[in-house]
Amino acid sequence: DAGITQSPRHKVTETGTPVTLRCHQTENHRYMYWYRQDPGHGLRLIHYSYGVKDTDKGEVSDGYSVSRSKTEDFLLTLESATSSQTSVYFCAISDLPNTGELFFGEGSRLTVL
């Protein structure tokens, strides 16, 4: 399995609190992604990064920010969590520009009460 870990794996928080999810890779891949998965919506891209300090928005970026200060870490921050952000969040890495195959982490389940 690709060396990719997400933390925390589970989190319960209250509306209005800030939350940060961390994705850590040991593969030295340039591309990293954050997706959220909700029933009926599949995987929706939040943000992705194509290098240190290089990020771009995805389909559902409102309410989320990201940072990538070093190759191995990609942080997803919810500045003020809302109940609509209750979801399973997946981080993924890609070896673009090679095969472009995505390797996913195990997911982080976030519940916002």
Binding of another protein at residue 98 (CB under 8 A)?
Answer: no
Total Cβ atoms within 10 A of residue 92 = 23
- Dist. CA 83–CA 35, nearest whole Å: 17
Q: Is residue 59 close enough to count as binding another protein by CB under 8 A?
A: yes
By CB under 8 A, residue 62 contacts another protein: no
Q: Which residue in 45, 61, 77, 111 binds another protein (CB under 8 A)?
A: 45
Residue 100 near another protein by CB under 8 A: yes
Name the helix (H) or strand (E) containing 65: strand 65-70
> Residue 113 and residue 105: Cα distance in Å, rounded?
25
Closest CA to 63 of 110, 107, 7, 5: 110
Residue from 11, 20, 43, 67 binding another protein (CB under 8 A): 43
Question: CB-wise, 24 or 105, nearer to another protein?
Answer: 105
Minimum CB separation from another protein for residue 94, in Å?
A: 7
Q: How far apart are CA 67 and CA 26, in angstroms?
A: 17
Interface ranges with another protein (CB under 8 A): 31, 33, 35, 40-45, 48, 50, 56, 58-59, 90, 94, 96, 99-107
